[in-house]
């Protein structure tokens, strides 16, 4: 396939190419035939050169440091090691964009995501040779995809468990973020569930604090859930934060939950994927394929905020979460809620982890092999049958979906606005203050959320619907009116 920005490459002044030293020349191939031949993972960075380099020189230095090289050509390299060089294969000088092809045999076998990130957004983010370096999009060939776990327990399984299909999964985060005792925490869960909510999550710092011992929190949540299920006749889910200082503690939290009597489907494992690390994410995915693995992305802002010149995009983070096997990851409220973010960033990420084929910022990613012709499909099935040992989870048919989890400053009055931006309902929303700040408390907050969803499904404006639904009316009065003047703000 001709590189689609052929014209861009042609516009590269010969002087730039001539400016490369032998070390840099080993990491560029602007005439790379068919980068999508299956050998390469492809990446697009926004790059501003530093240290007096031009953009092509700096790009080659990045390709070197993010694959086989360092800042000088070393005498120890071999013809084979050169085969593993990442290659700058396209450049858009006007937009400061560089495309780099990574031979994916560089990566740790058996699907290790942290290893890839250590290459492509590792040392390179600290290089003097760049003033700005942000990984904007990534493309995985299907031959590479097969090596990675992808999600196991998905939003579809959760929908089946809850028997909820025609709307988002409606959830909350217990607030205050910290400081409730285990029983107080469980009380708030009970109130949300009996108010009609489906899904409760621990907040991202919840762990084994002395005022809220983990073992007690698990036991009380189980009691609260049993009571709520009995009273409502509806299944409920709790996402427990199992992030911990070490592997054994994380696993002991998982086992504590599983031994507390929660039936399969009624609990998820939440992991602070960036601060606990990708190894924790993949450990949970591999150890507990029957559990929803909930990726909280606290501290992602250091990499992803649109104004940050150094880091990676929400799209990149979300694609790697799907590759690693997270069942869902927070993808942001596209500017509707309290966190920074835009539809271009957040909705693109959400669509890319949900769909089988989706357009990113630069690449169209198919999360599996799409047979061009019928006999390709038959060949794939035969291959699948013949090599079931590799493809026994029929992964050629496509990596399962990873669910966008939407949180951060949302409230019942913003649900429709977000659904419209998202152009769909296939997500989990978790509203913290949006429920617990409701003037009549958590249960009313949950009921207002349910009512705003009912209004959406019935295509009735919430202000109209609120005329006959008091909790929603109270939510509108509270959240839509100017935020009540805080005592300190009283002039």
Catalytic residues, by residue number, are 175, 296
Residues 331-370 that bind ligand CAP (CB under 6 A): 332, 338-339
The minimum distance between CB 300 and ligand CAP, in angstroms, equals: 7
Q: Which is nearer to ligand CAP, 297 or 351 (CB)?
A: 297
Q: Give the SS3 label for residue 426.
A: coil
Q: Name the site residues for Mg ion (rule: CB under 5 A).
A: 203-204
Q: Which is nearer to ligand CAP, 20 or 422 (CB)?
A: 422
List of residues 6+ apart from 321 with CB closer than 8 A: 273, 281, 295, 297, 329, 353, 402
* CB closer to ligand CAP, 281 vs 431: 431
CA-derived radius of gyration, the chain: 25
Bond preceding residue 24 cis, omega within 30 of 0: no
Task: State the minimum distance, in angstroms, from the CB of residue 98 to ligand CAP.
Answer: 28
- Of 159-198, binders to ligand CAP (CB under 6 A) are 173, 175, 177
Which of 92/203 has CB closer to Mg ion? 203
Q: What count of other Cβ atoms lies within 10 Å of the Cβ of residue 283?
A: 18
C-alpha distances in Å from residue 1, one per residue of 34, 92, 182:
5, 18, 59
Question: Shortest distance, CB of residue 78 to ligand CAP, whole angstroms?
Answer: 44
Q: Is the peptide bond before 102 cis (omega within 30 degrees of 0)?
A: no
Beta bridge partners of 329: 295, 404
Question: Cβ of residue 96: shortest distance to Mg ion, in angstroms?
Answer: 26
Token pair listed for 242: 């199992």
Number of residues that bind ligand CAP (CB under 6 A): 17
For residue 338, the partner it binds in ligand CAP, Mg ion, none, with Cβ less than 5 to 8 A by kind, is ligand CAP
Which phi and psi (to 5°) does residue 141 adopt?
A: -70, 150
Minimal distance, residue 332 CB to ligand CAP, in Å? 5
| Strand 199-201 to 237-241 pairing | parallel
C-beta of 59 vs 331, nearer to ligand CAP? 331
Among 141, 325, 408, 445, binds ligand CAP (CB under 6 A): 408
List the interface residues with ligand CAP, window 434-453 (CB under 6 A). Answer: 434
433: partner contacted, choices Mg ion, ligand CAP, none (Cβ within 5-8 A by kind): ligand CAP
Chain position carrying tokens 């003037």: 439
Check binding of 317 to ligand CAP (CB under 6 A): no
First to last CA, the chain: 65
Burial class (CB in 10 A: 0-12, 13-18, 19+), 413: buried
Kindly tell me the burial class for residue 14, based on how many C-beta atoms sit within 10 Å of its own C-beta (0-12, 13-18, 19 or more). exposed
Q: Which is nearer to ligand CAP, 330 or 351 (CB)?
A: 330
Q: Please report whether residue 299 would count as binding ligand CAP according to CB under 6 A.
A: no
Cβ at position 311, least distance to Mg ion in Å: 19
Work out whether the CA dihedral 100, 105, 108, 109 comes out positive or negative.
Answer: positive
Given 403, 433, 444, 466, the residue binding ligand CAP (CB under 6 A)? 433
C-alpha torsion angle, residues 468, 472, 473, 477 (rounded to 10): -170
Does residue 204 interact with ligand CAP by CB under 6 A? Answer: yes
Pure H helices in 311-373: 314-324, 348-354
Least spacing, CB of residue 469 vs Mg ion, in Å: 28
Query: Helix or strand or coil: residue 421?
Result: helix
- The span of 33-41, 257-265, 395-403, 407-415 binding ligand CAP (CB under 6 A) equals 407-415
* 318 near ligand CAP, judged by CB under 6 A: no
Residues that bind ligand CAP in the complex, under the rule CB under 6 A: 173, 175, 177, 203-204, 297, 330, 332, 338-339, 407-409, 431-434
């Amino acid at each position: 396939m001709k590189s689609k920005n052929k014209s861009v490459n042609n516009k590269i002044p010969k002087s730039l190419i001539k400016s490369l030293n032998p070390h840099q020349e080993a990491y560029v191939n602007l005439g790379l035939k068919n980068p999508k031949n299956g050998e390469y993972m492809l990446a697009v960075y926004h790059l501003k050169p530093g240290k007096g380099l031009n953009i092509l020189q700096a790009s080659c230095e990045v390709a070197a440091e993010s694959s086989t090289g360092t800042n000088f050509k070393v005498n120890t390299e071999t013809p084979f090691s050169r085969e593993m060089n990442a290659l700058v294969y396209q450049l858009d000088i006007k937009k400061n964009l560089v495309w780099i092809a990574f031979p994916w045999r560089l990566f740790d076998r058996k699907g290790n995501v942290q290893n890839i990130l250590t290459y492509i957004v590792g040392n390179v983010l600290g290089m003097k040779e760049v003033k700005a370096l942000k990984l904007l999009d990534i493309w995985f060939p299907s031959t590479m995809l097969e090596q990675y776990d992808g999600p196991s327990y998905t939003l579809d399984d959760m929908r089946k468990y809850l028997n909820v299909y025609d709307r988002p999964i409606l959830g909350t985060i217990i607030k205050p973020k910290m400081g409730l005792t285990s029983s107080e925490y469980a009380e708030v869960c009970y109130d949300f569930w009996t108010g009609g909510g489906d899904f409760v999550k621990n907040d991202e710092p919840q762990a084994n604090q002395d005022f809220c011992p983990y073992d007690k929190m698990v036991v009380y949540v189980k009691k609260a859930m049993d009571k709520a299920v009995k009273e409502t006749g509806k299944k409920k889910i709790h996402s427990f934060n199992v992030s911990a200082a070490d592997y054994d503690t994380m696993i002991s939290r998982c086992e504590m939950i599983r031994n507390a009597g929660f039936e399969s489907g009624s609990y998820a494992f939440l992991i602070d994927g960036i601060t606990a690390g990708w190894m924790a994410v993949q450990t949970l995915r591999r150890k507990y394929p029957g559990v929803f693995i909930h990726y909280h992305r606290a501290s992602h802002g250091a990499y992803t905020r649109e104004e940050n010149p150094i880091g990676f995009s929400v799209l990149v983070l979300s694609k790697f979460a799907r590759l690693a096997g997270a069942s869902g990851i927070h993808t942001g409220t596209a500017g509707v809620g309290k966190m920074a973010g835009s539809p271009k960033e957040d909705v693109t990420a959400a669509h890319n982890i949900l769909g089988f084929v989706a357009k990113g910022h630069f690449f169209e990613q198919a999360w599996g092999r799409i047979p061009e012709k019928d006999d390709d499909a038959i060949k794939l099935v035969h291959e699948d049958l013949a090599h079931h040992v590799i493809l026994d989870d029929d992964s050629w048919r496509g990596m399962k979906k990873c669910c966008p989890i939407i949180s951060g400053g949302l409230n019942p009055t913003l649900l429709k606005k977000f659904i419209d931006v998202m152009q769909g309902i296939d997500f989990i929303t978790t509203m913290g203050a949006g429920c617990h700040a409701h003037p009549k408390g958590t249960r009313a907050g949950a009921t207002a959320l349910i009512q705003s969803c009912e209004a959406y499904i019935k295509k009735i404006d919430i202000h109209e619907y609120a005329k006959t639904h008091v909790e929603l009316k109270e939510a509108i009065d509270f959240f839509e009116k100017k935020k009540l003047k805080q005592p300190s703000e009283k002039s």
